[in-house]
């Protein structure tokens, strides 16, 4: 390394170099060729660098997009499909829309799942989510039994919410006018408790003729009904009308049949009995009540 010398010593040396440079004569420049000099020193473009630049730009864009934080995406939980079990005699089908149509028999939802169940019957539409229930369709209507959750029952004019532990039958049983339920027939039977089984005694009397047999058949139906044998009661009254269609007690027998068929929700049969009463008992004071009940039954 050269030894550093004081400024006073280096000053003379610098003056000497400046003097030598000034003594050099500049080379002559041909002004006619000045444009060529400028053109030669002008910056040149190298087009071979363009593809490399484009590739680096694309790589930068990809890198930015890759490093950009992704938005939060909420993944919806999977919907568990409901499990439907139909009875052997059920008539049902699943429509293209997913709605299940039940025309007869029983259909149950075994588990309360997140899947929606829409069940149509001839009487109503049942709509449920996270519910376990049983639906049964008969000629008399739709019975809904909810075991878990709740089910919405809808018709054209009604909306009912049926909750766990509740049972709903639709359409509701129409109100039976009081004069039709207050039916009593005069008893001419000789059967009493002292003669042994009253049922057996009435059955024997019913085999006879005349008013005694009519009264026995009517009372036999009443007694069977009290003991919970509705089918036997209806059989006794049906037999009475078949044997004594114009008998003294036929209005009471017809009304008894009409009331019990209505309570049993056998509406179609009840309408037939009501119309027969209207035709056979046109002068009966209870005719208007029968007609009102029949219209209510036909509206179902």
The beta-strand segments (E) located in the chain are: 84-86, 91-94, 100-109, 116-120, 125-129, 132-138, 141-148, 150-154, 159-163, 167-170
Residue 156: which residues within 8 A CB-CB, separation 6 or more? none
d(C-alpha 217, C-alpha 209), whole Å: 11
Residue pointed to by tokens 């005699």: 89
Q: What is the mean pLDDT of the chain?
A: 82
pLDDT value of position 187 = 62
CB-based burial, 240-252: b 16+ in 10 Å, e otherwise: bbeebeebebbbb
Place 66 in a pLDDT band, splitting at 50, 70 and 90.
Answer: very low
Please tell me the distance from the alpha carbon of residue 219 to that of residue 236, in angstroms, as a whole number: 9
- pLDDT (tens digit per residue) in 101-137: 999 999 999 988 888 999 999 999 999 999 999 999 9
Q: Both tokens of residue 260? A: 């019990």
Superfamily of domain 178-298: Tetratricopeptide repeat domain (1.25.40.10)
Q: What is the pLDDT of residues 179-196, one digit of tens each?
A: 998 766 556 666 765 445
DSSP sequence for 139-208: TTEEEEEEEESEEEEE-SS-EEEEETT-EEEESPPPPPPHHHH-----------GGGS-HHHHHHHHHTS
Torsion 64-66-72-73 (CA) sign: positive
34-65: pLDDT as tens digits? 555 556 555 555 555 555 555 555 555 544 44
CA nearest 191: which of 211, 176, 206? Answer: 206
How confident is the model at residue 63, as a pLDDT? 42
> Is pLDDT of 143 > 80?
yes
**Model confidence over 214-272: pLDDT tens digits?**
999 999 999 999 999 999 999 999 999 999 999 999 999 999 999 999 999 999 999 99
Q: What pTM does this model have?
A: 0.64
**Which residue has tokens 């909810």?**
146
Tokens of 31: 């002004």
Q: Which pLDDT value is given to residue 32?
A: 57
- Asked whether the beta carbons of 185 and 219 are under 8 A apart, the reply is yes
Q: Compute the average pLDDT of residues 77-86.
A: 78
The pair of structure tokens assigned to 271 is: 């309408």
Where are the chain's structural domains? 84-170, 178-298
CATH node for 84-170: 2.60.120.1440
């Amino acid at each position: 390394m050269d030894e550093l010398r004081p400024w006073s010593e280096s000053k003379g040396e610098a003056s000497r170099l400046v003097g030598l440079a000034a003594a050099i004569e500049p080379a002559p420049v041909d002004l006619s060729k000045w444009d060529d000099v400028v053109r030669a020193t002008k910056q040149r473009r190298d087009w071979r660098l363009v593809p490399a630049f484009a590739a680096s730009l694309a790589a930068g864009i990809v890198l930015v997009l890759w490093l950009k934080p992704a938005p939060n995406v909420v993944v919806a939980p999977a919907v568990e499909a409901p499990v439907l079990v139909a009875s052997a005699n059920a008539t049902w089908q699943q429509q293209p829309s997913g709605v299940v149509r039940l025309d007869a028999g029983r259909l149950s939802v075994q588990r309360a799942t997140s899947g929606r169940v829409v069940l149509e019957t001839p009487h109503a539409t049942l709509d449920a989510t996270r519910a376990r229930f049983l639906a049964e369709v008969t000629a008399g209507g739709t019975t809904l039994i909810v075991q878990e959750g709740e089910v919405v029952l809808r018709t054209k004019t009604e909306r009912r919410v049926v909750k766990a532990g509740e049972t709903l039958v639709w359409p509701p049983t129409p109100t039976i006018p009081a004069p039709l339920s207050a039916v009593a027939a005069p008893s001419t039977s000789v059967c009493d408790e002292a003669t042994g089984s009253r049922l057996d005694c009435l059955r024997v009397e019913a085999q006879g003729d005349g008013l005694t047999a009519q009264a026995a058949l009517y009372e036999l139906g009443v007694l069977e009904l009290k003991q919970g044998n509705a089918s036997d009661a209806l059989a006794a009254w049906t037999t009475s009308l078949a044997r004594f269609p114009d008998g003294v007690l036929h209005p009471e027998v017809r009304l008894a049949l009409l009331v019990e068929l209505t309570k049993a929700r056998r509406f179609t049969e009840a309408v037939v009995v009501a119309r027969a009463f209207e035709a056979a008992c046109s002068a009966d004071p209870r005719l208007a009540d029968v007609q009102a009940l029949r219209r209510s039954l036909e509206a179902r």
